[in-house]
Amino acid sequence: MGGSIVRLLRLDHFEPDRIVTSNIVRPKTLAILRGILCTYSLIVVVSLWATASSATTYLSFFTNLTYLGLTFYLMCTTLWSIGYLRQPSHERAQWLKNRSPWWGRIHWLLYSTVVTFHFIVPVVFWTLLSNGGIRSALGNWQNISVHALDGAFAIFELVFNRHMLEPIHSFVVAGVMVLYMLLTFVVHATEDRWVYPFLDWDQGAICAAYYIGIAIGLFVVFFVLLFLHRFRNNRLAEMCARVNHDQYLESLQHRDLPDIEKAGSQ
C-alpha cells in the first residue's frame, strides 16, 4: 500500500540534496538566510498566539494555518541544513541518503503546499478581505507579516531553492484546501459564523463563484510555479554545478544538468 502511494505521488523521485542546496548561493549561505526567515516567522507565530482570543479561533483561519505550515517548513529546512553542513563535504551525499526517505517526502509535499498557498493568500486577502480598518501598530505588523511578507518568503524560496514540483502534487495541494473548506463548515455549524465573509452561502450565486474561482486559481498558480521551477533549474544548472563544485549532487546529475548539455549540443 505504502509503495503504491509513493509511486502514485511520484515520491520515489524525491532527491534530498534539493532541500539543502541552491542554484545561486552556497549551502551555508542558504542555511543562514532560511534561519533568519525561520526566526522571524517564529516570532510572528508567537505574537499571533499570544494575542488570539482563543486557540480554536486562531486555528480556524486559513492564513494562520498556512503561516504555521510556512514556519514549520523553514524550521525543517534549517535543521536539515545544519545537519548537512556538519558533515565533511565528501560525506554529505551519503548523510542525506541515510536519512529516512519519509521525512524528505513529507517535506517535499509540504513545500508544494507552502509555495502555492503563499502566492494565493496575499492576493485573496488584499482583494477580498482587506477593509482598510484601523489597527494598532502590533496589528499592522502582524497583518503585513502574514498577508504580505509570507508572499515575499515564497518568492525567496522560488529564487533560492532547487525544489521541483510534480503535476500530481497539485491534487495534494487541492486536497488540503478541500479539508480546510470542510473545517469552515464545521466552524459554521458549531459557532454559527463563517470564517471568511465570501464563504457565506447566503450570498447566493456569487458565493459559488468565489469557491470555483479560488479552486481554478489554485491550479493555475500551481502549474505556473511548476513551470517556473523547471525553467529555473534548467537555466541555472551550470551555475549550480559551479556554486556546489565541492559536493556531489545526485539531483544535478540525474535531471537538471543533462537538459542543459542537450540544449548546448543542438
The DSSP string of 112-150 is: HHHHHHHHHHHHHIIIII-------HHHHHHHHIIIIIH
- pLDDT tens readout for residues 7-25: 889 998 899 999 999 999 9
The DSSP string of 208-262 is: HHHHHHHHHHHHHHHHHHHHHHHHHHHHTHHHHHHHTTTS--HHIIIIIHHHHHH
Torsion of CA 172, 170, 217, 75, to 10 degrees: 70
The pLDDT, as a whole number, for residue 53 is 85
The pLDDT, as a whole number, for residue 133 is 62
Rounded to 5 degrees, φ, ψ at 7 are -70, -40
The pLDDT, as a whole number, for residue 255 is 60
Q: At what angle do helices 169-191 and 205-235 cross, to 10 degrees?
A: 150
The pLDDT, as a whole number, for residue 132 is 65
- pLDDT tens readout for residues 201-227: 888 888 889 899 999 999 999 999 999
Amino acid letter for position 125: F
Averaged over successive runs of 10 residues, the pLDDT of the chain (266 residues) comes to 82 92 96 97 95 90 96 96 93 90 92 97 89 78 95 97 96 96 94 90 87 94 97 94 89 61 42
Q: What is the DSSP letter of 254?
A: I
The pLDDT, as a whole number, for residue 203 is 86
The pLDDT, as a whole number, for residue 263 is 40
In the block, cell 489597527 appears at 135
The pLDDT, as a whole number, for residue 202 is 86
Q: What is the DSSP letter of 253?
A: I
Contacts of 103 (CB under 8 A, 6+ apart): none
The answer to whether the predicted template modeling score (pTM) of the entire model surpasses 0.75 is: yes
C-alpha cell at 120: 494565493
The pLDDT, as a whole number, for residue 257 is 54
Percent of the chain with pLDDT over 90: 71
Instruction: Return d(Cα 186, Cα 60) in angstroms, integer.
Output: 10
Amino acid letter for position 238: E
The pLDDT, as a whole number, for residue 248 is 85
In the block, cell 546529475 appears at 253
The pLDDT, as a whole number, for residue 100 is 85
